[in-house]
Structure 1
């Protein structure tokens, strides 16, 4: 599929899923509110079957729809496609830059082609367009950063890299690389692994726990409201306080609406996806630094250009070569999120 066509499909999918989120939430909120009013009126007036039956049907239908919608998390689906569009556009911008940059600043084209191919394959897996099968797990038991590029097929072994590094650096001084820059980038990579990535992963873990609790609680309260309406309907002998059952059904319906709104209207699925993708962004940056340092120094991208690019991706203004990009005492390298 041509890149322009794929981007148009993703933009259409993003708008579609955002519309789903608004439509579902408005429908569920209005349905539950009508059911609450009917349950309360039945409890106050003792109208019985004429009000309890439609309240029961509305509560049961809303509970079923909540259970289905909470499995798909429409707000998270929309955020997945927004992120995919942004990342595919970034690849297109990188290709345009690589084709137009002067030869002495250009990265090795074979390595660049391999990197673009790995990123494209990873994005297809990380942000699938079909809902089923192959959709992302909405409530993962273990949150891991988004994988934005496939693993490298061939890598230099650590002992091979260290044995050749000094010679390579001496041969590549005209490429902007030196020992100080290598140590600086290693410090940035270490800070990303120990600070930024674990922080956003832990935040995503906390959000998914809260979202899962709300996603389970809202249909449960809707089911309880439906059961209470059914009991109030079948209370023919008057052995149960039908008025109280109607009022409790209304209260449970209000709780179900409130919890469903907390989960979906506040878009906790989207917040989880934002944190997970933030961790994936910094993990991908760490991977790019590691792989660049594993390449022979004379085949790397120009060191000064690469340093500036890393600084911009961290949200930092590239300082002079005499000043470190990230201080050793800093616990987090990134400032973007």
Structure 2
């Protein structure tokens, strides 16, 4: 509309209508972009999926515990702490025979070191980049539509208002490109995915370290079962997990291989 209004082929009475319509539509687009970029629907969807997955996982753990034993006060308190932690971490979706217990401590410590150096650090770095891109796009979209609105308001025949036509047309076109990159590319969801993956490895680190720090051997998880659980969470076999720990232990300077084969 801004481009048509700036041409000489349009009758004078129609120019005002085209200018007004173009300006109002650009202002409406600016308001919608500000709301969309603040809410970040794609990121909200990813958070909802993560929250639902973690709550289902917690429900499964509760059912398994109840089927094996009568829950004690201490068990109930731990479960409540987990529920409250999830509730705090995901606020948007709410607007939900004796065996040696841990015989492989050094291997697990090496796995934790690899996850800290490689997996978690890498996803935090990628998440930071995605966040910066998202912020730039979120600011650029409304800014461009605002400039286009200003330009379209001052559209006049070519001899008098060519800058208005250029600003109205080019600003609108660039805003469309920026909006497509941000929301079509799901930049918010990409950032949330990286953040969620980094959180997954942080959770694994804390789970392993809490077992290693447990002073009473009887209270630790069964070592072989725990090692198998860690291997499954990382998408590795037990032999691959042992090889990774041995490789990391022999090369203290760090290894190129990531701990996880899943992400």
Partner of 2:82: 119
Aligned partner (choices 41, 46, 60) of residue 4 of structure 2 = 41
Output the CA distance in 1 between the equivalents of 2:94 and 2:35: 13
Partner of 2:122: 199
Tell me which moved more, 197-206 or 114-123.
114-123
Output the CA distance in 2 between the equivalents of 1:114 and 1:175: 26
Matched, 1:175 2:100: yes
Q: Is the 8 A contact 2:51 2:86 kept in 1?
A: yes
Deviation at 1:313, TM superposition (A): 1.1
Query: For 1:137-286, what aligned pairs fall within 5 Å after superposition?
Result: 174-178=99-103, 181-232=104-155, 235=156, 241-243=160-162, 245-286=164-205
Deviation at 1:58, TM superposition (A): 0.3
Matched, 1:311 2:231: yes
- What TM-score does the superposition give when structure 1 sets the normalisation length? 0.68
Matched, 1:299 2:252: no
- SS of the counterpart of 2:6? helix
Tell me which moved more, 113-122 or 269-278.
113-122
C-alpha distance 56-227 of structure 1, shift in aligned 2 (>3 A): same
RMSD (Å) for aligned C-alpha atoms = 2.7
Unmatched runs of 5 consecutive residues or more in structure 1:
1-37, 133-171
Partner of 1:10: none
Output the CA distance in 2 between the equivalents of 1:270 and 1:289: 28
Q: Is the 8 A contact 1:42 1:243 kept in 2?
A: no
- SS of the counterpart of 1:334? coil
Output the CA distance in 2 between the equivalents of 1:255 and 1:90: 44
Output the CA distance in 1 between the equivalents of 2:115 and 2:227: 15
Matched positions, count? 250
Unmatched runs of 5 consecutive residues or more in structure 2:
none
Deviation at 1:247, TM superposition (A): 4.2
Q: Is the 8 A contact 1:292 1:300 kept in 2?
A: yes
- Higher-helix-fraction structure: 2
- What TM-score does the superposition give when structure 2 sets the normalisation length? 0.85
